[in-house]
Amino acid sequence: MSAFTGRIAVVTGAASGIGLTVAEHLAERGATIVGVDVNDGVGEIVRGLPGDGHHGIVADLTDPEAAARVFDEAIDAVGTPHILVNSAGVALLDKALDVPASRWQLTMDINLSGTFYMAQAAGRVMTEAGYGRIVNLASQASVIGLDEHAAYCASKAAVVGLTRVLAREWARDGVTVNAVSPTVVETPLGKAAWAGEKGERAKAEIPVGRFAQPEEVAGLIAYLASDEAAMVTGTNALMDGGFTAI
């Protein structure tokens, strides 16, 4: 029996990048996936995952009402979710003096508010069921300052703060809430953004000398989403190759 057989996992940002890798990882281990993305092709992408019964939902999670609709549709389509992975996010980089209000707000709307709305909708279902695993994708930028990352760092630090509050409020109801904070991850987007000399300089500052792989992030998320992690809640799990240890 695979580790996630019988489990239903809602994964945001499931059409690409870390979200897609997480969806694949959990599906390979028996989970039924509800993939959520603004990409109109998410349904086809999710149906192509290993196993059967997966369901895709197109949604703009900056809409405060979207999360409730997502969970209503997920329950109707495949049943009550056991797992939520909040992977949808955006990185819009500007010097702090140059951040336009529109880009600041969009970063907060997607990275923080979208995460909260989805966690809130999941929490309502999971606390009633007496079981749940919520994993929020944060970043090493949640604990350090990075040049041109004012909005991004602020949003991810806020995700970690939110994670801790939800963990405390829902622990007695069998729901764990954790954050995962990787360094640069070599998704297609990450490879493009950190190509060349800029990327080599960044790798040189990481003790292990490289960036993270999407499969490594998915593996950590899968552990936190598993039954074995029942005692782990309210943590911010750093995956940064030792960068913040020096």
Asked whether residue 79 is domain-assigned, the answer is: yes
Count up the domains in the chain and report the number.
Answer: 1
DSSP the chain: --TTTT-EEEEETTTSHHHHHHHHHHHHTTPEEEEEESSTTHHHHHHTSSSS--EEEE--TTSTTHHHHHHHHHHHHT---SEEEE-------B-GGG--HHHHHHHIIIIIIHHHHHHHHHHHHHHHHT-EEEEEE--GGGTS--TTBHHHHHHHHHHHHHHHHHHHHHGGGTEEEEEEEES-B-SHHHHHHT-HHHHHHHHHTSTTSSPBPHHHHHHHHHHHTSGGGTT--S-EEEESTTGGG-
Q: How far apart are CA 43 and CA 47, in angstroms?
A: 6
pLDDT of residue 194: 84
The answer to whether 183 touches 205, Cβ cutoff 8 Å, is: no
Asked whether residue 207 is domain-assigned, the answer is: no
Asked whether residue 72 is domain-assigned, the answer is: yes
Q: Grade residue 246 by pLDDT with cuts at 50, 70 and 90.
A: low
Asked whether residue 188 is domain-assigned, the answer is: no
pLDDT per residue as tens digits for the range 177-200: 999 999 999 998 888 878 899 889
φ, ψ of residue 214 to 5 degrees: the values are -55, -35
pLDDT surpasses 60 at 1: no
Asked whether residue 210 is domain-assigned, the answer is: no
Asked whether residue 229 is domain-assigned, the answer is: yes
Asked whether residue 243 is domain-assigned, the answer is: no
pLDDT surpasses 60 at 208: yes
Residues catalogued as catalytic: 152
Asked whether residue 241 is domain-assigned, the answer is: no
- Which residue range(s) make up the domain with 77? 8-181+216-236
CATH number at residue 68: 3.40.50.720
pLDDT per residue as tens digits for the range 78-109: 999 999 999 999 999 899 999 999 999 999 99
